[in-house]
Amino acid sequence: MDEPLGGRPSIQPPVLVASAWGGHSPAAAVAEPAAGPERQELGPGPSKRRRETPVLQFLKMEAEKAEERDRRDEQREERLLSLLEKIVDKM
């Protein structure tokens, strides 16, 4: 299971302690840090090849067209406002 993930375990398994069985005194139940394997520095995984699907290309083209339409509409509104200001100034 770890092979698809790059050979690294995705989780560390939990440590189970059987506390139901007696035989140990409470003084002996002192927790010590486990000397488990040190964590490896996780570098970037294998690079994925990025492909643009036809749908993504279509959406990008549509977004560019919409931006161009918005820019033209804004220019048209600016011209209209400037003409209206000139008309008001002449009154």
66 inside domain: yes
Cα 62 to the center of its chain, rounded Å = 24
Amino acid identity, residue 38?
A: E
19 inside domain: no
**Residue 46 — very low, low, confident or very high, per pLDDT cuts 50/70/90?**
confident
List the domain range (segments joined by +) for residue 60: 52-91
Helix boundaries (H) for 1-91: 54-90
Q: Is the dihedral of CA 81, 87, 90, 91 positive or negative?
A: negative
Asked which of 8-17, 32-41, 42-51, 70-79 is least confident by mean pLDDT, the reply is 32-41
More confident residue, 91 or 57: 57
What is the per-residue pLDDT across 50-77, written as a single tens digit (0 to 9) for each?
777 999 999 999 999 999 999 999 999 9
63 inside domain: yes
pLDDT recorded at residue 21 = 64
More confident residue, 28 or 43: 43
**What total of structural domains would you count in the chain?**
1
pLDDT recorded at residue 40 = 62
Q: With a threshold of 0.75, does the pTM exceed it?
A: no
Provide the residue count of the chain.
Answer: 91
